[in-house]
Each structure stands twice: as structure tokens, then as C-alpha cells.
Amino acid sequence: MEAERQRSSIRFRPTAPLENLRRRAVLYRILRSFFDARNFVETSTPTLSRDVVVDRFVEAIPVKLNKSWRECDDFSSTRFSSPEVARREETTFYLQTSPEFAMKRLLAAGMDAIYQLAPAYRQGDRGTLHNVEFTMLEWYRKGDDYESGRALLSRLVAETSRRFYEETSIEPQRWTTQETKQIPFGRAFCDATQLDPHRSSIADLRAFADANNVSYPESYKDDAEKDDWIDLIFSEVVQPTLGFDFPVLLYDYPGTQSQLAQTGQAHGCEVARRFELFANGIELANGYDELLDASVLRARIDCVAGQRRRDGSAELPRESRLLAAMDAGLPPSSGCALGVDRYLCVLLGTRRVDDVLAFPTELA
């Protein structure tokens, strides 16, 4: 009797209304048709890989496998900074935080325009707008530059949001009724704070945080780098104001925030040639004028590895099959990743990812 009572109390129903799950299927179909109409090829790459994005704050989920394959090259021995670690981690794979590495390998192998709707995973990310497993739409097109990459993202939002409302008969959200406005990151930051993020010092940024009651960890007083302060103030002061009347696409981030993007000169300083899309104060997409030089990426990975070591984070592989592809020749391209769950949230006017997921982490 007690066992039966316990079974009956276990939750099995989805957190999202069933109608929202039907609307999710509509959005998938519209997104696919947008790229199919432009002759993109839908791809499918591994969600479990020995490659992983090396980011200071993004934590991949490691998976240990029993070895059931024969190595086709000497890749496993070169992955980590020391042979001992490489041997120990030979069978460590990672649930992918993005299909980025594998998709770029396809570009290097000769594919021209590709997209993918895929699950992605990030350790510990569970909150109002985060789930450990989420859905990412990612695309790349050979020959696209910085400007055409931003234009494609703007067209995607305009066309797919219009079609979504037509096919679901939902009243459009206000931000979808206007064209995307492209604004340099520095201008948006300055408009909200009167500080130039490219030229302001750590002292300037900390003084702003103190004067405007922006809370920060005690460790920031001694250890925070300039990018930490920029990210903090942006997330607390700038981002919440973006994208309510129209979608906002920010570009030309500080050069130190380049990740896998190229850098260049603009506004009299070095900038990262990357862009992000915001609606209803929520970040939806992140795109790059893609970095092509493997030696630059290796240097950036070394820098991030040092930061992770100081943070006490787990060591991640320094070498990847993406770097081998870049050594062989990655063609000029622009790529972008859009969070599908968040996109559906802002289309429906909700700020809870549980409203668009069948089974979030605690019910999976």
C-alpha cells in the first residue's frame, strides 16, 4: 500500500502546457524551412565528443566510456598538456556545450552552408532561463563576412517570428513588430552607464558598481579582471533594458572577449568581431566572424586554461580535432548559435524556460 502511494505521488507530467509543446514543433518546422529555402544542409554531429570548448565559465559534462574502439591516429596522446594526463583521460568524452567544433570541421572538409538543431549540455546550468540540457540552433555559411552574418540573423528573427504568429494565431509580442536594430556594444554600454567599456579602467567600473548598488562577490575586490566587471555591469544594468520595443543586435565587443571570433579595429580600439541578439532583456543568439588562425586559438586556449587553473576548475583538453581542421585550412565564414528554448520563451512572452520544456532536469 505504501509503495503504491509513493508511486502515485511521483510526478510524470510535463512542466510546459501541451499547447506550448505543439507550438514548439511549429517553430522547429519554421526554422528548418528558413534554412532549407537558402540551400543550407541540415547536419547531425556527435553530442558526445572528446573535443570541448575551453571557456573560463562554461562547464562541460564529462563522460567516461569503456574503450570499445581502436584509435585511428595519435590524437588521444596530444589532447592534454602532459602525456600522463592524456593517458588518464584517453576515454573521457564530453557532452557538447555546442555543436560548433564538429560543424566547423565539416566546413573545413568542404561543406558550404550548414545548420543543426541539436541538444546541448552545460554543467550546473539550472534556473529560470537555464536547463542543463537545452536545444541549440547553430549555422555556418562559407564566404559570409561580419556584416552578412549579422544580416542573416536579423532576417531569421524577422521571418521566423512573423511566420510563427501567423501559424499559431498568437498575438505578436511587441519586440517582433519592428526591425532589428544593430548597435555597437560600446554605445549600448555607454548609454546605460556613461562609461566606455573599451577605455574605462577597473577602478572606473568598480566605482560605478559601488555608486549604483550593483552587488559583487568579495573576491572581486582583489581578483576580478576588467572583463569580469564589464560582464557584471552589463548583465545587471545594460542587458535588462534591451529588446523590448525591437530586437537589439549588439556587435564589436571588447577585443578581450573574442572567444572564437576574429578581432579588428573599430571605434579607435581593438574589438571582437562578434555579435549577440537580445529580446525582452534576454540573450538569444551569439555569432562570430569566425577565427581562422589555429595558432591564435591555441594561445587563447592557453590563456583560458591558466584562468581555469587559478579558479580551481577542471583541466580541459588543449588540443582538438577542430584545431587540426584549422591547421588544414578553415574557410572564411560567419556562424551563429541561437537558444531555441529561449527564443520560444520570448515569442510566447514568458520568462520561464519550464513553460516550453517537456521535462526539465529535475523531471528528466
The CA radius of gyration of the chain, in Å to the nearest whole number, is 21
Does the structure show a pLDDT above 90 at 124?
no
Mean pLDDT of 85-89: 93
Give the global pTM: 0.94
* Band of residue 164 on the pLDDT scale cut at 50, 70, 90: very high
* Mean per-residue pLDDT, 110-133: 95
- Angstrom CA distances, 313 to 48, 52, 57, 267, stand at 21, 14, 9, 35
| Residue 222 pLDDT exceeds 90 | no
Residue 61 has pLDDT above 90, yes or no: yes
Per-residue confidence band for 239, with pLDDT thresholds at 50, 70 and 90 = very high
Alpha-carbon dihedral sign for residues 360, 353, 120, 21: positive
8 pLDDT above the threshold of 70: no
**Residue 321 confidence (pLDDT) above 80:** yes
Q: Give residue 6's pLDDT.
A: 64
Per-residue pLDDT tens over the stretch 240-294: 999 999 999 999 999 999 999 999 999 899 999 999 999 999 999 999 999 999 9
**Burial bucket for residue 214 (CB in 10 Å: 0-12, 13-18, 19+):** middle
Q: What is the predicted pLDDT for the residue at 28?
A: 98
Q: In angstroms, rounded to a whole number, what is the distance separating the alpha carbons of residues 349 and 176?
A: 11
At residue 169 the predicted structure's pLDDT band, cuts being 50, 70 and 90, is very high
- Cβ proximity of 105 and 52 under 8 Å: no
Report pLDDT for 7.
66
Over range 180-198, report the average pLDDT: 98
Distance CA 108, CA 90 (A): 25
Q: Is the distance from CB of 163 to CB of 233 less than 8 angstroms?
A: no
pLDDT digits (tens, 9 = 90+) for 344-359: 999 999 999 999 999 9
Share of the chain above pLDDT 90, in %: 90
Q: What is the pLDDT of residues 25-50, one digit of tens each?
A: 999 999 999 999 999 999 999 999 99
Phi, psi dihedral angles at 31 (to 5 degrees):
-60, -45
Mean pLDDT of 82-86: 92
pLDDT at residue 297, as a whole number: 96
Is residue 4's pLDDT more than 80? Answer: no
Burial class (CB within 10 angstroms; exposed 0-12, middle 13-18, buried 19+) of 249:
buried
